[in-house]
Amino acid sequence: MPTDPLRVLVPLDGSTESESILPALMPLFRRRPVKVTLLQVVPPDEAGAPVQEYLAGLRRNLLLDGVQAESRTEWGNPADEILYYSRETWCDLVAMTSHGRTGLRRVLLGSVAESVMRHAQVPVLVNRPWTRVGDWLRLVVPLDGSPRAEAAIPDALRLAKLQGATVHVLGVSPPPALYGDYAAAAIAAEQADVNYLEKVCDRFASGGVMATAAVREGPPGWEISKFAEEVGAGLVCMATHGRTGVGRALVGSVTEDVLRAAPCPVYVRRTVAAAKPARATA
């Protein structure tokens, strides 16, 4: 088991919906040391004392569960501040709820989560309120045959080994009606090629993780979410971008479709990441 604490940034907005990310993280908390930073971003003209008191209460609850935690209050635009703080603190993971309470004073909305997901330099774990949270003993890894989509494989391998999980490698072929010629249809079929998926399963097996392959046909976002429900997945692990074009369907919009419909938390790695800021030497 890793000994260095995993640095997890948890943005909150003061709502019970945003707090639902904390039980979603319990499988991680139970399996390795973590250091959680609770972050709330408030409007520039709002007092910080109530927010700090609220975060202090959550921090105490986490400490009672044996989770090392600290809190931070920032002022400004939520997505910008979350991204800036995640870079400056060199965190390993951002974990957040995709929807908070509506209204001008509750700003942790789905658009914020999606903006963070599109620009974060580290993986983002996203959970919708009221989705099923539990163990991570079954992981779904959607692939489309592209190297960019395969960027999620190392993360899935590490998480599966940590949890003792089985990985379900999924290829989704969009319906033939979406294609106007034979060549495009052939390219689409490649992404759900069983031989390719079984080779990926062999990669997991060589890392000590049991993996199975499955193929589905239909709208990718819907089929990924439906398959995760069928196998009782505790986590979907995927990349935010696959190859572009009609023949490659695992694009950013598919990831967002999964975020809106998945029955469990979704772990997302952006495939094009900028370099982390250099540490100050002074």
Look up tokens 């951002």; give the residue: 94
Does the domain spanning 138-269 belong to CATH 3.20.20.150?
Answer: no
pLDDT at 252 over 60: no
Stretch 177-196: mean pLDDT: 58
Distance CA 80, CA 262 (A): 26
- HSE, CB side, 13 Å, CA atoms: give it for residue 133: 19
Q: How many CB atoms lie within 10 A of CB 26?
A: 15
Structure tokens at 199: 């080779």
Domains 6-127 and 138-269 share a fold: yes
Query: Which CATH code for domain 6-127?
Result: 3.40.50.620
pLDDT tens figures, 44-100: 877 767 888 999 999 999 998 889 999 999 999 999 999 999 998 899 999 999 864
The confidence score (pLDDT) of residue 210 equals 97
Look up tokens 């949890």; give the residue: 163
**Higher pLDDT, residue 105 or 189:** 189
Distance CA 227, CA 201 (A): 17
- HSE, CB side, 13 Å, CA atoms: give it for residue 99: 10
Residue 91 contacts by C-beta under 8 Å, 6 or more apart in sequence?
Answer: 7, 8, 9, 37, 85, 122
The confidence score (pLDDT) of residue 248 equals 40
Phi/psi of residue 220, nearest 5 degrees: -55, -50
Distance CA 246, CA 265 (A): 28
Weakest-pLDDT range from 12-16, 206-210, 221-225? 12-16
Q: Where are the domains of the chain?
A: 6-127, 138-269
Q: How confident is the model at residue 176 (pLDDT cuts 50, 70, 90)?
A: low
Collapsing DSSP to helix, strand or coil, 273 comes out as: coil
